[in-house]
């Protein structure tokens, strides 16, 4: 029996979506291979042939295409010489994001050529510069532009060099290196204990594993060869010439950073307004390249590898596997929380603001400064008078030195914050920007952290959990109930709260509260904790408290959005099948561009309706995927 996409909803939402996506992009035969790999995990070519009922030549050609696009990886066992094939989520995500990637590159460079380069690389999986230039050898000017943009894309991190090891299964490679080094523990006579030797082996394995994927800079660029752009539209800057034999692929991790930045900019816009969000966009543009990778993407990838390890039981998972997982997760977490590459100076952002002509004038209202000063002076005078009265009453009218009342310096400090805003009666750009940065740093949501004076960084590890929390609350508010939103918001703020406290905070009656608690519990948004009042745990005297169950609810909601995208894809496919005759007629060469003349009135109306429905479906898919990004990727 052939494995098809129709049974995939019973497996997992991601399997449903990605198999449908592969079917639309690469054909039904490729989707069958993907569904088998999703169902059975690593497989040999004979196993794939037996399950798919396809001939060997076709399966081989499909696997070659899937490996080239990084949708699958392979590994050849040294002992049995058997080749196994694995599913690779990175290639599937590139396929999912491909349209947005091309649009982002076009907007990032404000040119069609870099977007065209990325589109070709996405189509072929990877390309060398020489292969790409073969089609443009006659046009020297375009060839130099292509090489210029290759340089830019490599420098900005959107292209990364690869070697043959990138097509192999990384965890099988890691496992092979580890097992070879593990043998030395029992053969070498060392004074160290076995546990310490294993820790040392793990470090050596990490180092050797990374060396398999490292590509020396001399392999990417030719050392003694340079070229210079002579076109007036570009800076006359000398660039290194790229080695034409080095293959490059698109760097998905770099693009996911831009996805994260987009969501953070929207969060700033929601809480602080449009202008602070534009300033924050400049900050993210400055630090995005060297910022930490998205933690969820790294974490989920490694969990899949650990799951594969435990299923195949090649090593003792309870000992070695848990240590591998703990070491790697500590490494990922340290990289994620490391802000050493994330610092930026005030002058860096000021230069970006000036270069983009971002107008900050009148963005800070200074009228409240005078009101604050007047109010504080009135309050000071009242405090001085009351203080004198109290002193005179206590000391029978004698002066004990409090007549020379020392004024409070708080208002001076307050005014000092605005000293750099006005210069000769005009608001200065640097002073206004400084105040905007302070607003971002002093907000209840830590958009920025000021390490030292004029030196900031973005705390991604603190911002992303807040972003997920805010968006989850919005989803509950818009799709479930306003009362559920109030209750969940109180539970999050209080962390652990019981019924009576919730009723006092939300002003909701007990019956409605229990109904809403039941809804939230079914959504796995909250978990219930029993708090006994007595040692013998009488049921009548027990109190139940609630806490936010963020781990489960985020995962469930992310899967729901993925499954919703799959259903929209299915509806879109059915709609196209119903109108296949009309679409085949429209796609004919003799009809293209002359639809209004050659089609009937009812066919034109049907075609218009079909295009509107497709646009509506694409918009719904993008919204669902954008929310899935928040809960499962960034």
CATH of residue 519 = 1.10.10.10
- For residues 128-150, give the mean pLDDT: 82
- In order of 205, 217, 567, the CA distances from 209 in angstroms are 6, 18, 40
Name the packing angle between helices 460-479 and 252-272 (round to 10°): 60
Confidence band for 239, pLDDT divided at 50, 70 and 90: low
pLDDT at 569 over 60: yes
Please check whether residues 76 and 224 belong to one and the same domain.
Answer: no
279-284 long-range Cβ contacts below 8 angstroms, 24+ apart: 279/349, 279/353, 279/358, 279/433, 279/436, 279/437, 279/440, 280/440, 280/447, 282/349, 282/352, 282/353, 282/356, 282/358, 283/344, 283/349, 283/448, 283/456, 283/458, 284/458
Distance between CA 78 and CA 601 in Å, rounded? Answer: 66
Contact call for residues 377 and 388 (beta carbons, < 8 A): no
Q: How far is CA 380 from the centre of its chain?
A: 51
- CA angle, 549 as apex, 631 and 332 as ends, to 5°? 50
The sign of the CA dihedral 263, 268, 273, 276 is: negative
Alpha helices in 240-366 (DSSP H): 252-272, 274-287, 295-312, 322-337, 346-355
Residue 352, in any domain of the structure? no
User: Order of strands across the sheet with 455-457?
Assistant: 344-345, 455-457, 449-452
Distance between CA 166 and CA 539 in Å, rounded? Answer: 59
Please check whether residues 184 and 304 belong to one and the same domain.
Answer: yes
Confidence band for 594, pLDDT divided at 50, 70 and 90: confident
pLDDT at 540 over 50: yes
Please check whether residues 217 and 234 belong to one and the same domain.
Answer: yes
pLDDT at 292 over 70: yes
Q: Residue 262 has what pLDDT? A: 95
As beta bridge partners, residue 239 has 227
Please check whether residues 486 and 541 belong to one and the same domain.
Answer: yes
Distance between CA 529 and CA 537 in Å, rounded? Answer: 14
Residues whose CB is less than 8 angstroms from the CB of residue 151 and which lie 6 or more positions away in sequence, other chains included: 239, 240, 242
Q: Residue 356 has what pLDDT? A: 84
- In order of 42, 124, 146, 219, 420, the CA distances from 153 in angstroms are 34, 17, 10, 17, 39
Percent of the chain past pLDDT 70, that is, above it, reads: 76
The residue segments making up the domain with residue 63 are 5-87
Residue 62, in any domain of the structure? yes
539 vs 451, residue with greater confidence: 451
Q: Residue 614 has what pLDDT? A: 92
Residues whose CB is less than 8 angstroms from the CB of residue 423 and which lie 6 or more positions away in sequence, other chains included: 431
Number of domain units in the chain? 4
Confidence band for 518, pLDDT divided at 50, 70 and 90: very high
Residue 249, in any domain of the structure? yes
SS3 call for 248 = strand
Mean pLDDT for all residues in the chain: 81
Distance between CA 594 and CA 147 in Å, rounded? Answer: 40
pLDDT at 331 over 60: no
Q: What length is written for the chain? A: 634
Contact call for residues 292 and 335 (beta carbons, < 8 A): yes
| Structure tokens given for 122 | 């996405």
DSSP 198-235: HHHHHHHHHHHHHHHH---HHHHEEEEEEEE---TTS-
pLDDT at 160 over 80: yes
Please check whether residues 22 and 141 belong to one and the same domain.
Answer: no
Please check whether residues 542 and 569 belong to one and the same domain.
Answer: no
Please check whether residues 255 and 198 belong to one and the same domain.
Answer: yes
- For residues 290-305, give the mean pLDDT: 71
Q: How far is CA 253 from the centre of its chain?
A: 8
Residue 313, in any domain of the structure? yes
Confidence band for 118, pLDDT divided at 50, 70 and 90: very high
Please check whether residues 259 and 325 belong to one and the same domain.
Answer: yes
Give the tens place of pLDDT for each residue, 8-43.
455 688 898 999 999 989 999 999 999 999 989 889
Please check whether residues 518 and 603 belong to one and the same domain.
Answer: no
Distance between CA 146 and CA 116 in Å, rounded? Answer: 10
Q: CB neighbours (10 Å) of residue 172?
A: 22
- In order of 9, 298, 526, 540, the CA distances from 632 in angstroms are 19, 11, 19, 41
Q: CB neighbours (10 Å) of residue 2?
A: 10
Residue 360, in any domain of the structure? no
Confidence band for 361, pLDDT divided at 50, 70 and 90: confident
Please check whether residues 60 and 164 belong to one and the same domain.
Answer: no
- For residues 550-570, give the mean pLDDT: 90
Residue 320, in any domain of the structure? yes
Contact call for residues 458 and 448 (beta carbons, < 8 A): yes
pTM of the model: 0.83
Please check whether residues 539 and 559 belong to one and the same domain.
Answer: no
Q: Which of 13, 24, 44, 74 is nearest to 52 (CA)?
A: 44
Q: Which of 176, 209, 162 is nearest to 67 (CA)?
A: 162
- In order of 37, 486, 510, the CA distances from 513 in angstroms are 46, 10, 5
Residue 412, in any domain of the structure? no
SS3 call for 111 = coil
Contact call for residues 133 and 143 (beta carbons, < 8 A): yes
Residue 421, in any domain of the structure? no
Contact call for residues 344 and 433 (beta carbons, < 8 A): no
Distance between CA 300 and CA 227 in Å, rounded? Answer: 42
Domain-terminating residue out of 61, 87, 113: 87
Q: Residue 223 has what pLDDT? A: 66
- In order of 381, 386, 397, 433, the CA distances from 391 in angstroms are 15, 9, 8, 46
Please check whether residues 317 and 201 belong to one and the same domain.
Answer: yes
Q: Residue 388 has what pLDDT? A: 41
Q: Residue 420 has what pLDDT? A: 53
């Amino acid at each position: 029996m052939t494995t098809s996409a129709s049974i995939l909803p019973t497996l997992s939402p991601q399997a449903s979506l990605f198999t449908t996506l592969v079917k639309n992009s690469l054909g039904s035969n490729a989707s069958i291979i993907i569904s088998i790999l999703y169902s059975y995990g690593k497989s040999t070519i004979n196993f794939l042939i037996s399950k798919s009922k396809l001939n060997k030549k076709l399966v081989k050609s499909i696997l070659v295409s899937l490996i080239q696009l990084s949708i699958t990886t392979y590994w050849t066992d040294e002992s049995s010489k058997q080749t196994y094939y694995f599913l690779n989520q990175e290639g599937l995500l590139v396929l999912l994001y491909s349209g947005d990637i091309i649009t982002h590159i076009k907007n990032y460079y404000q040119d069609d050529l870099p977007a065209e380069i990325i589109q070709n690389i996405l189509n072929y999986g990877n390309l060398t510069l020489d292969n790409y230039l073969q089609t443009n050898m006659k046009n020297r000017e375009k060839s130099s532009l292509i090489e210029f943009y290759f340089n830019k894309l490599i420098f900005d991190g959107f292209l990364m060099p690869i070697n043959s090891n990138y097509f192999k299964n990384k965890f099988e490679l890691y496992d092979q290196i580890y097992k070879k080094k593990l043998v030395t523990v029992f053969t070498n006579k060392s004074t160290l204990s076995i546990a310490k030797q294993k820790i040392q082996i793990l470090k050596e394995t990490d180092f050797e594993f990374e060396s398999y994927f490292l590509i020396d800079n001399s392999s990417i660029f030719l050392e003694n060869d340079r070229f210079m752009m002579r076109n007036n539209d570009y800076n006359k800057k000398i660039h290194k010439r790229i080695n034409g034999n080095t293959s490059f692929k698109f760097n998905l991790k770099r693009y996911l950073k831009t996805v994260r930045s987009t969501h953070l900019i929207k969060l700033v816009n929601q809480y602080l307004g449009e202008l602070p969000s534009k300033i924050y966009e400049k900050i993210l543009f400055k630090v995005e390249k060297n910022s930490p990778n998205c933690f969820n993407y790294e974490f989920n990838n490694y969990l899949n590898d650990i799951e594969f390890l435990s299923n195949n039981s090649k090593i003792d998972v309870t000992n070695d596997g848990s240590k591998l997982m703990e070491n790697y997760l500590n490494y990922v977490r340290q990289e994620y929380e490391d802000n050493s590459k994330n610092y930026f100076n005030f002058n860096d952002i000021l230069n970006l603001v000036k270069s983009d002509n971002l107008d900050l004038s009148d963005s800070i209202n200074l009228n409240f400064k005078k009101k604050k000063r007047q109010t504080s002076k009135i309050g000071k005078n009242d405090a001085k008078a009351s203080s004198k009265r109290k002193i005179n009453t206590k000391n029978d009218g004698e002066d004990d030195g409090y007549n020379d009342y020392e004024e409070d310096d708080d208002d001076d400090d307050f005014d000092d914050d605005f000293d750099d805003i006005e210069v000769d009666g005009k608001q200065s750009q640097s002073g206004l920007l400084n105040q905007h940065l302070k607003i971002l740093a002093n907000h209840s949501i830590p958009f920025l952290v000021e390490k030292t004076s004029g030196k900031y960084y973005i705390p991604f590890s603190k911002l992303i959990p807040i972003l997920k929390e805010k968006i989850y609350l919005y989803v509950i508010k818009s799709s479930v109930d306003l009362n559920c939103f109030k209750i969940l918001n109180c539970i999050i703020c209080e962390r652990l709260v019981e019924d009576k406290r919730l009723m006092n905070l939300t002003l909701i009656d007990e019956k409605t509260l229990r109904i809403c608690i039941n809804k939230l519990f079914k959504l796995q948004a909250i978990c219930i904790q029993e708090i006994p009042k007595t040692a013998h745990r009488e049921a009548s005297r027990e109190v139940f408290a609630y806490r936010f169950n963020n781990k489960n609810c985020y995962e469930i909601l992310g899967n729901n959005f993925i499954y919703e995208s799959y259903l929209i894809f299915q509806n879109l496919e059915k709609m196209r099948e119903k109108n296949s005759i009309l679409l085949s007629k429209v796609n004919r060469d003799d009809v293209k561009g002359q639809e209004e003349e050659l089609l009937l009135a009812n066919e034109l109306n049907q075609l218009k309706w079909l295009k509107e429905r497709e646009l509506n479906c694409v918009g719904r898919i993008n919204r669902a995927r954008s929310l899935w990004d928040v809960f499962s990727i960034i």
